[in-house]
Amino acid sequence: MNSIASPVTTTYRDAMRMALREALQRDPRVFLMGEDVGRYGGTYAVSRGLLDEFGEDRIRDTPLSESVFVGAGIGAAMNGMLPIVEVMTCNFSLLALDQILNNAATLRHMSGGQFSIPLVIRMATGAGRQLAAQHSHSFEGWYAHIPGIKVLTPATIEDARGMLWTALMDPDPVIMFENALLYNLEGNLAADAGPVGIDRAIVRRSGDDLTLVTYGGSLHKTIQAAERLAEQSISAEVIDLRTLRPLDMETVLKSLAKTHRMVIIDEGWKSGSLSAEIMARVMEQAFYDLDAPIERVCSVEVPIPYARHLEQAAIPQVETILAAALRTVKNHV
């Protein structure tokens, strides 16, 4: 009789470290590089201990030049390696935008398929840590605009553990946005947890009255809001997009066809946002399924403030999600 191993209790940070370690063990072509990933163990301690285990050839500290080490990652990927490049925060990734947009995203197309770019770029994103505007923005929606790359937003311990290897096996460059507030998230992880798909959204909570669409750091706030709605006998379905490019609208529209109401929660700014794209696609493809206007809960259109009370006021919170949901349900019955 086979025994089933018990789940292990871990954190999002440790799950990501497990994923890195497994990738390094599985394939000698895998290496990690970035600012402070080696001796310091990573700005968010994700790579702590990996330098001692795998050595300097595979855990590489880089100069403070995002354009240089992202470009080096692209070159390594073109030559058969499987690089994982860590950019400390998504704000700093703008210093490597030429490499990401004009090179990584285009080379497979421009070479007629002769080159693949199996590059994974990891970066922290999101506000809530009092690190001010240069370290706290959410640019996932910007990168989701770019053809030729995939954009992932792991929001659970399972996805933090399982998405990396799948991303490394993809012939296109993949960007993983890790909301920094999630690193201390604790939960259970199956002892045999393996790779996770990177092309589909998932229903995190079933419901019949309202669809709440979100991703990344806003997922857990959205689930809390759904629990608060349940106390008022409102059944909310929560969709975790997980992947922002390609965008799985099939799962979103299937939920809308059941609930007929939608709120989109997006930590990006509202103007030109991912939430705007989802809203537009709903209007194009499922307008007559709507029984009420779509609501959006986004960050206030200011640089993220340093002061804690202002920072908290600037980004989506459980209360603002709850208020938008109640407006959608109660004002349009």
Q: Is the per-residue pLDDT at 330 higher than 90?
A: no
- Chain-wide mean pLDDT for the chain? 95
Q: Give residues with Cβ within 8 angstroms of 278, minimum separation 6.
A: 213, 247, 249, 252, 264
Find the catalytic residue in 135, 137, 220, 260: 135
| CA nearest to 239, candidates 153, 178, 319 | 153
What's the CA gap between 282 and 95, in Å, rounded?
A: 34
Dump pLDDT digits (tens) for 107-133: 999 999 999 999 999 999 999 888 999
Find the catalytic residue in 35, 66, 237, 295: 66
Q: What's the pLDDT at 193?
A: 86
Q: Is the per-residue pLDDT at 3 higher than 60?
A: no
What three-state secondary structure class fits 184?
coil
DSSP secondary-structure letter at 39? T
Q: Is the per-residue pLDDT at 332 higher than 80?
A: no
Could you give all domains of the chain from N- to C-terminal order, each with its CATH number? Answer: 9-189 (3.40.50.970), 202-330 (3.40.50.920)
Please say if 332 is a catalytic residue. Answer: no
Dump pLDDT digits (tens) for 191-217: 888 899 999 999 999 999 999 999 999
Q: What's the pLDDT at 176?
A: 98
Q: Is the per-residue pLDDT at 333 higher than 60?
A: no
**Residue with the larger pLDDT of the pair 130 and 97:** 97
Question: How many other C-beta atoms lie within 10 A of the C-beta of residue 202?
Answer: 17
Residues of the chain above pLDDT 90, percent? 93
DSSP secondary-structure letter at 4? P
What number is the average pLDDT over the span 323-332?
Answer: 89
Radius of gyration of the chain (CA): 20
Contact 126, 217 (CB under 8 A): yes
pLDDT band for position 1 (50/70/90)? very low
Q: Is the per-residue pLDDT at 66 higher than 50?
A: yes
What's the CA gap between 193 and 266, in Å, rounded?
A: 28
Q: Give residues with Cβ within 8 angstroms of 2, minimum separation 6.
A: none
Side-chain half-sphere CA neighbours of 59 within 13 A? 23
| CA nearest to 316, candidates 238, 225, 240, 243 | 225
Please say if 260 is a catalytic residue. Answer: no
**pTM exceeding 0.75:** yes
How deeply is 161 buried, as exposed, middle or buried, from its count of CB atoms within 10 A (0-12, 13-18, 19+)? buried
Question: How many other C-beta atoms lie within 10 A of the C-beta of residue 188?
Answer: 13
